[in-house]
Structure formats: C-alpha cells, structure tokens
Amino acid sequence: MFGKILIANRGEIACRVIRTARKLGVRTVAVYSDADAKALHVQMADEAVHIGPSPVAESYLRGDRIVAAALATGAEAIHPGYGFLSENPDFVDRVTAAGLVFIGPSAASIRAMGLKDAAKRLMETAGVPVVPGYHGEAQEIVLLASKAREIGYPVLIKARAGGGGKGMRRVDHPDDFSEALSGARREAKAAFGDDRVLVEKYVDKPRHIECQVFGDNFGNAVHLFERDCSAQRRHQKVIEEAPAPGMTPELRKAMTEAAVKAAKAIHYSGAGTIEFIVDASEGLKADRFWFMEMNTRLQVEHPVTEMVTGVDLVEWQLRVASGEKLPKTQDEITLSGHTFEARLYAEDAAKGFLPATGTLHHLKFPDAAPENAAMRIETGVRAGDAISPFYDPMIAKLVVHAKDRASALNALREMLARTEVAGSTVNTAFLAALAADADFAAGDVDTGLIGRHQEALTAVPAPRDETIAAAALAATDAGAPGPAADPWSTLSGYAHFHTLARRIHLRHGEENILARVSARPDGRFQVALEVPHDAVNTHDLRTMPRAVRWPGHVTVFEGAVGYTFTVPDPLAKADEAGAASGSLRAPMPGLVKLVRAAAGDAVIKGQPLLILEAMKMEHTIAAPHDGVIAEIMAEGAQVSDGTVLVRFVEDSQT
C-alpha cells in the first residue's frame, strides 16, 4: 500500500478520498487554487500545495504543476477523482513518466474509451450492442445533416469527448439541426477542447442504466451491479438509485455480462462505469439496451453502489493501483437493499436550473439517519464557505439506504426535509418534489420525466401568513436562545403601560411586507401583518417553523422549502429608482461567449441576444421585451453577477 498520495481534485470527491486514505493509514496531499485556499479538502489533508489562480485552466487542469507538487511532497501516486484530468490520457502519461502511479486505468484504456465514436466502434467489434447512429470521423455539416435524416428524427447530437451533458442537443426537426450543431460544438470545444460530434437515434422513452465495473492488473474484471440514473435535467443526473426499478433477472444478466465484456476488451484496471441507454417503452427487456459510453474513472454517484454492496470503491482503487488483486470475486459481491443519492446544488430550478453563487451563511444536514435507514452526507463545503463561479455548484450528495425502494425513498424525503441551506438559491425543494412525484415513486422514470413535469416540480407555493409571521419574528431576534440573544434587540422584558412591540419591514419577491411584532405576557409573541394580510397569532416558539437570520435576510424552512425574506436596513439609503429598468443584467458571473445582436437592432421579446458561459455550461440571454438596443456587451467580456449586458433605448419599450 502507498505511504502518501496526492489528490488532483477539489471539493467533495477530494474529501471522500481523504477519508478512505486515513482509514488505510495513507497520508494525503491536497492541491488548491486561489479560490480554494481555505477549502475543506485543504484543511482535511495532511499537506496542501497551491497550484495557481482560480480558473481551472490555470490550476486544476495544470498537469505539470500537479505532478511537480507530487514529486516535491514525496507522494507515490496521484488520485484524479472525477472531472478535471481524471480521463486525460496525456496526464496519465505525464504521471507515469515522472515515476509516479496513476490511481486509475492505463492511458491506453482511457484513449480506447475517451472518444464516444471510437469507443462504439470498439464495442461493436467486442459484441456489445450500441445505439444506432453515425460514429464516423467526417464532420461536415452537410454529411451530419444527411446522416440525421437517414437515422430519422428525433436525433441526439453528442460531443464525442467528455460527458456531463455538455455538448449535447436533441433535435426534433431538420430545420433546427444547424443551430443545434453549432451550440453543441461550441459547448464541446469550451468544455473538452474538441468540437467533433456524433449523431444518434433519440430513444423515445430512454432509461439511463449503468454498470459499475472494476478490473485489476492480473486480467480480472467484475461488475458491482447496476445504477439507474434516469432522473436528469439538462442531461445531467439529479437522483440516482440502485438497483434499477423494474430490473429483470434477464436484463441484469445481459447488461452486467456486456459491461464486464467491455472492460475486458480494453484490459481495464481500476474503477469504471459502462453506461447503457435502455428503451423502456415496453418495459425492461434484455434485447432493448445499447452501449452509450464508458467513464474511465470513479463516478459522482459511486456511493450508491457502495451502499448496496458494502464495498469501499476508493479502497479498491488504492489497493489495485498499489499492485494487489481485486479484493473479491464476482460470486462474493452481493446486492442488499435499496439506495438513493440526491445531488444538492446551488441553482434556481424555477429559472431553468440556472447555477447560483453565494455564501453558505447557514448549512445544516440531518444529525441522524431516518428510522430503519442508513445515510451518508458527501460534501466539500461548510457553513461560511462561498459557492464559486469557477467550479461546479454542487453543495452535497445526500445518500440513503434502506431495506427496499419504498423505505429508502421515504428516508430520502425525510433527509431533504431536514436539510437547511441559507445564503444561496438551492434545489432542495425541487429534489423533494421529484422524490414525491407519483411516477418517480412508482419507478416509472425515464430521462424525460423531469422535462415533462418540470413546471410542477419547480413550482413553490407562496409563503403562508404563518411563514411570514415566523420571518418577522426571526427578524427581531426575539426567539434567539439564551446568552446568544441580544437583550437590546429582543422584545421580552418589562413594559409599564403597554406590550412591547416592534415594526418590521420585510420583502419577499416583489412584495413589501410590514409587520408589528409584540410580546405577550405568557411568553408567546403576536405578529400582526398589515393589509392585505390579517392579524396572525404565532404558535409557541417550540412549534414554529424553523428560521435562521443571516446578513440582511431571514430564511424560514418548511419541510424542504426555504422561504427567504429580505430585511431592509432602515438606515440604508436605498435608491431603487435608479435601477436600470431599460437594461438586461447578467444573472451570474460568466464569459460572454457569443453576441447575436448589435446596437441599433430592433428586437422582440424572447429573441436570443447573447450566450453567457458560466459554470461550464452555455446560457442563452433573451430580450425581456420588445425594444431597440442602445448598447450590448462585446464578445469575450468577463462579467460579474449583475453586470449590465444590454441597454435599450428608453422610449422603445412597449
């Protein structure tokens, strides 16, 4: 076993690797960028090395600096985590050339599976079924459009490199092919440095089911059953589970045998995942699945497999990379119970899952697992940490295991209801709505489920009067316990002629709220909400909704929903009249990738004006109303949250 390893990653996966390394007595070296100088993974590691500025191209993608850090600290091996350089064969070559061990597959194996088109040709040769489509080298638009017609619409344009839904577009009509191809190529080039694509038949009711495989350097390869990752938005996974609902013994046998066959075809060593697309239009059948791609690394959702098999996949990675054989044979790997993993992101589900930033002023996870269940919280952040625009906005993965699917799903719902985040917009309520969706609960899930139900899944009801009352009370600090409460800001105390009271101003969305909070003799508080609200008597503090105050705001938690209210500073000189109503501002920090209009152009509401690249994805910024453009941001500009992107001629608005 290694004495010391370097982890070429950040966030929750770096923390995850460190935990297993500690268990095995292996020392760890973290690397970090400027943005991550005080990150949790840096604190947890035995040593840490600074490798550059915040942008990934100047830090976590700098293989030369990472190898130099490993050599300087005496690390014997490098664990790549997932993303960044984990599937870069040139980096593997650099690591081995330096006399270090890459904790993962060989460069040859990564190259064999790194490009989707070449991988599918290889799988066809190995006898693994593949999706009908064009996987050739020629990339002329006329040829690709012709192949799309031959395949038959709808088709899926996919970047041949990388993954995570980047560089992927569904096309339903020939007239939309050119625009979709351009967008897929731009996104693929930005994410992977390769704009080449393949075109495949779009399966009408697709299930995304993948098999965890593991190989060693002695020719052994096993599977650890399947995971269902069909619950996706924007081609990115949201909730994963194992085993796959509705899985039949016949399909499991065919799929796992194909997965092991694929791994052996490239002499695979280490953790890998064979991803299949399954046609579920007539149920799960052994002849209706096709190879999609292989991820030659540890997956984000690997805890799902660990919980149902009892295997520590990171430990297996370290053991195999250090020269050991696989710890178990196929017959020794068993499947037990059911597991769900929900990805908690800083994003606004109601706005098309727009990534969010912010400081996690309040972050609280369940203290204990739900009854008759086990849980894991995989995170790389703490309360007080900031969600950076430079990296993926994941906050945590909530993982739960129980005896069967229904029990595990109930436990997941409870975990989500007990999770509290304030300081950034998060998707907790969306995850809870998905977990409660009737089709999802019944196991009738496919990759289009979220899209079909998106309006219902992302809708958040307006706060009840009791919720607003709780926010007003929290804004006074009246409920703060013991010595933490400020005696000058609380309402309890002596009043000779009348009940102590305070007027509180709140804002929720576009609504301004004025409340009068007063202390009652019995220790409770009364909150009167001015018109259009009625007077509301709050409950005893012990039964009130959970609430937390943070700078300038109050968040009230009701189940998995967090209602955030702004608490205006009465001394601040707000000048909202100066806000540019005739302008369009950046919804997040990012890079202006493409501009589709110019000053002087007359535009209509909904017309795409520019494309903003942020959080490794492209976001179209459209005109909010009809008008004439006075100014528009130039291509290549790096903008911050709130930067004016477009100004309109004032009298042009209708």
Catalytic entry in 27, 62, 297, 405: 297
Distance CA 472, CA 477 (A): 9
Distance CA 322, CA 348 (A): 43
Beta strand 77-79 pairing with 47-52:
unpaired
Residue keyed to tokens 């009737």: 438
CA-CA-CA-CA dihedral for 585, 586, 592, 596, to nearest 10: -50
- What Cα–Cα distance (Å) separates residue 504 from each residue in 484, 492, 574? 21, 16, 17
Structure tokens at 624: 């909010």
* Residue 169 bears catalytic tag: no
- What Cα–Cα distance (Å) separates residue 593 from each residue in 114, 230, 517? 26, 30, 50
- Going by the DSSP 8-state scheme, the letter that residue 533 receives in this structure is S
Q: Annotate 349-383 with b (16+ C-beta within 10 A) or e (fewer).
A: bbeebbbbbbebbbbebbeebbeebebbebbbbee
Distance CA 155, CA 125 (A): 24
Side by side, which strands form the sheet with 546-550? 535-537, 525-529, 511-519, 501-508, 561-566, 553-558, 546-550
Structure tokens at 294: 């292989």
Structure tokens at 463: 């706060």
- Sign of the alpha-carbon dihedral angle for 644, 646, 652, 654: negative
In angstroms, how far apart are the furthest CA atoms of the chain? 90
Distance CA 564, CA 182 (A): 39
- Please identify every residue annotated as catalytic: 297
